[in-house]
Structure formats: C-alpha cells, structure tokens
C-alpha cells in the first residue's frame, strides 16, 4: 500500500502550536484513524524519529495515522506531554469530517514513552467521557515508575539493567527529567497508568513487550491488570529482541505489524 504525499499540520495546544504529521493510504477515504505518540523517554524523539513506524502502520493497517510532536522534558516536564496528547485527540474528535474519518472511533498508539502516553490518554478519555477511544496499541510501554526503585516490583529492571540497548541508569535519568518539579506525583496514574485503581471499561488493548527489555515486566503487569478488570487484551512478548525493536527491520517487527493489523480487525 502506497502513501499519499505526507501532510504537515499545526494545531493550537495548551503550550503553543502542536505539529502533526498525517500519513494516509493512497486510496481515497474515509479512513479509520490512529493517533501515534513517539518514544524517547519523554526527553528525546520526534515525529521524524518514528517516521518509519508511522508509514509502516499505514501500510499494514490501512489507517490514516496522525503522528504527534508533543512537548519534551526537561524544558517542558510532566504534564506537558500528556496535555498535548489529550488536546490533539480532542481536536481530532472535533475535525472528523475534514480528516475524512470513517467513524468517530479513534485508536491511540505509541512506542515506549509514547505507549505510556497512549495508555494515559485512553484513561483520560474514559474519565472525561470524550473523545471516543476504541482501541489502544502499546509497544513496550513504561506504565509505572521507571526509576531505580522499580526493581522491587519488576525483576526485568535488574535482569536487563545493562547491555540491552535501554539501561536502568538511562531510565532513571529520563524519569527524573520527566518529573522535574513534580516528583511527588510519581505514583499519579497520569504518570503511572498501572496505578489507576479502576481500569475497567478501558478500550481493548494490544500490548507488545520485548524479551530483553528492563520495561518488559511493567508492560506485562499492565496487560494482566487490564485482563483482570475485564478489558479485552492481546499481549505478546517478542522473543530475542530488545527495547525499541520496532525501529529496526526484523522477523519480530514484521510479526508485530501483522498482529496489530489483526487486532484492529478484531481477528485476535
């Protein structure tokens, strides 16, 4: 499936303009819509760094994918990224006609920190009653505190602390930069969505984790919590890969795109 010419759009956000990249299938709409949040520990990354993932998602799913350049820490610490993310999804819900949306349903997705943001936006939409988030696609997401003290709850933090792309030390650094000035909120569900006491009635979730990833156990714990609350969940641990594997072509990457497509078609 080819792509139309990429469209760039800027919308008004709570902290200024938010830049969006809109990727569309070559075929005319209407299109199902997916909003994508990039990874980077809330400190790095951009719509450019996940350009390849966004394009592949269009090709694999037939969705129109809207990638979001949210504000980054430490210049814009928590909750700036969450505010931008929710504002974007709310804006999309009010512009369904101009976006040639197939329905009012919106899928939220993201990798790493973007997976955290997608999970939080899904929870916010539920609590506020708008917009209509139908599904969430979370790729190796941090869903709890990801500083050094997380090792007590999540053994993978120590098991893969060094030598597997993402280190325990870098996670601790990202966490502190993201929560600069707001460390008292480290257990807030807006930071750690797994801490939300009521996760029932959330959108169906696809959660991919990587075998050699310090964040692996967090993602799998969130999948189990959602399942226990009655949320439809498809969780998959991709073997012999590290955090961030979706950025590099591999058998695991191809399998994940195929599974996402099946999940969105409700065939899993």
Q: Which residue in 67, 93, 112, 156 is the catalytic one?
A: 112
Cross-strand bridge partners of residue 205:
136, 233
User: Residue 33: pLDDT above 90?
Assistant: yes
* CATH number attached to the domain at 7-264: 3.40.50.1820
Query: Which one of the listed residues 84, 111, 156, 243 is annotated catalytic?
Result: 243
Find out whether 137 and 206 touch, Cβ atoms under 8 Å. yes
Give the dihedral sign, CA 153/154/158/161.
Answer: negative
Q: In the prediction, which pLDDT does 181 show?
A: 84
| pLDDT digit string, tens, across residues 49-61 | 999 999 999 999 9
Which residue among 69, 84, 144, 213 is the active-site one? 213
With beta carbons less than 8 A apart as the criterion, state whether 72 and 40 touch.
yes
Sheet with 64-69, edge to edge strand ranges: 7-13, 16-23, 64-69, 31-37, 101-111, 133-139, 204-212, 233-242
| SS3 of residue 17 by DSSP | strand
Q: Which of 24-28, 100-104, 207-211 has the lowest mean pLDDT?
A: 24-28
For the chain, give the percent of residues with pLDDT over 70.
98
pLDDT at 32: 97
Domain boundaries, the chain: 7-264
Question: Would residue 217 show up in a list of annotated catalytic residues for this protein?
Answer: no
Average pLDDT score, the chain: 95
- Per the annotation, the verdict on 95 as an active-site residue is no
Per the annotation, the verdict on 38 as an active-site residue is no
- pLDDT the model gives residue 205: 98
Per residue in 124-156, pLDDT tens? 999 999 999 999 999 999 999 987 777 789 999
Q: Residue 24: helix, strand or coil by DSSP?
A: coil
Region of 114 (left: φ > 0; alpha: ψ -120 to 50; beta: rest) is alpha
């Amino acid at each position: 499936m080819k792509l139309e010419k990429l469209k760039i759009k800027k919308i008004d956000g709570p902290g200024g303009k938010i830049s969006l990249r809109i990727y569309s299938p070559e075929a005319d709409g209407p299109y199902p819509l997916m909003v994508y949040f990039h990874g980077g520990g809330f400190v790095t990354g951009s719509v450019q760094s996940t350009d390849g993932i966004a394009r592949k998602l269009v090709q694999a799913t037939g969705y129109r994918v809207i990638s979001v350049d949210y504000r980054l820490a430490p210049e814009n610490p928590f909750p700036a990224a969450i505010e931008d993310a929710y504002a974007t999804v709310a804006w999309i819900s009010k512009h369904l006609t101009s976006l040639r949306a197939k329905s009012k349903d919106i899928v939220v997705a993201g990798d790493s920190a973007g997976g955290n943001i997608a999970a939080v936006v899904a929870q916010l939409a539920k609590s506020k009653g708008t917009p209509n988030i139908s599904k969430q696609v979370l790729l190796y997401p941090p869903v709890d505190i990801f500083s050094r003290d997380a090792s007590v709850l999540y053994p993978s933090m120590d098991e893969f602390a060094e030598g597997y792309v993402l280190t325990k030390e870098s996670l601790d650094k990202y966490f502190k930069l993201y929560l600069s000035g707001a460390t008292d909120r480290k257990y807030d569900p807006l930071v750690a969505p797994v801490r939300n006491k009521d996760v029932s009635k959330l959108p169906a979730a696809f959660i991919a984790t990587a075998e050699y990833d310090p964040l692996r156990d967090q993602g799998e714990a969130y999948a189990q919590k959602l399942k226990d609350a009655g949320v439809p969940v498809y969780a998959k641990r991709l073997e012999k890969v590290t955090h961030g594997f979706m950025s590099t072509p591999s058998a695991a990457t191809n399998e994940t795109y195929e599974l996402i497509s099946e999940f969105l078609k409700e065939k899993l």
